[in-house]
Amino acid sequence: MRTDRYRMMMKNGSLYDMQADPGQTENIAAQRPEVAKKLKAAYRQWRTSLPQPRTVPPPIPVGCADWPTAILRTHLARVSSVERVTRWTNGFVANWTSTDGVVEWDIDVVAGGTFDVAIRYTCAKENLGAKVLVEAASGGSVAGAIDRAADPTPVPVHDRVPATEAPPIAGAN
């Protein structure tokens, strides 16, 4: 934070008189506490005026006439009792072995209507018949069972740089 004369380093609280000490070599915070207090207050006021960063993804719009297909990707979901394999766009969940498992998204229904739901999945032959339930907060739901095995051989990843996980999104599991 600075004025025409003073510069305060908010990380460590050091204060410099840029007119008397253009090289900013002498910390004068102890000699000028009133200036330091005023600049700290101005900084706090400025920081509180800034918009707060989003800690959760915004709702995903569905029902748009110009964009009739909405893809709900797992990196934007909240998950519980399942394993999130990656948080990137092509991520997926795995080891969904319990009815306690949940994957959920916040959506914004732009225009109401009837919606088709398609789920991309893998399912070994021995797990055929697994039940799937899709529920909307408004109370609507659709249920089904997996009736076709889809258990492809994993494709090896040939990244030139090893992939690393992003830090967790606040509010998302």
pTM passes above 0.75: no
Same domain, 141 and 75: yes
Q: Where in the sequence is the domain holding 42, given as residue range(s)?
A: 6-49
The DSSP symbol for 26 reads S
Residue reference for tokens 């799937």: 132
In a domain, 43, yes or no: yes
In a domain, 109, yes or no: yes
Q: What is the reported pLDDT for 91? A: 75
In a domain, 158, yes or no: no
Q: What is the reported pLDDT for 173? A: 46
List pLDDT tens digits, range 129-157: 988 888 887 778 889 999 999 888 877 76
Q: Which residues, at least 6 apart from 10, have a Cβ–Cβ distance to it below 8 Å?
A: 1, 40, 43
Whether the pLDDT of residue 169 is over 60: the answer is no
Q: What is the reported pLDDT for 54? A: 67
Q: Given CA atoms 156, 161, 162, 166 in this order, what sign does their dihedral have?
A: negative
SS3 state of residue 123: strand
> What is the count of structural domains for the chain?
2
Q: What is the reported pLDDT for 23? A: 94
pLDDT band at 167 (very low <50, low <70, confident <90, very high): low
Same domain, 103 and 73: yes
List pLDDT tens digits, range 42-58: 999 998 898 877 667 78
**Cα(111)–Cα(15) distance, integer angstroms:** 56
DSSP letters for 57-122: PPPEEE-BTTB------GGGSEEESSEE--SSTT--EE---STT-EEE--EEESS-S---------
Whether the pLDDT of residue 36 is over 80: the answer is yes
Same domain, 21 and 70: no
List pLDDT tens digits, range 64-116: 989 888 888 888 888 888 887 776 666 788 888 888 888 888 888 898 888 88
Same domain, 40 and 107: no
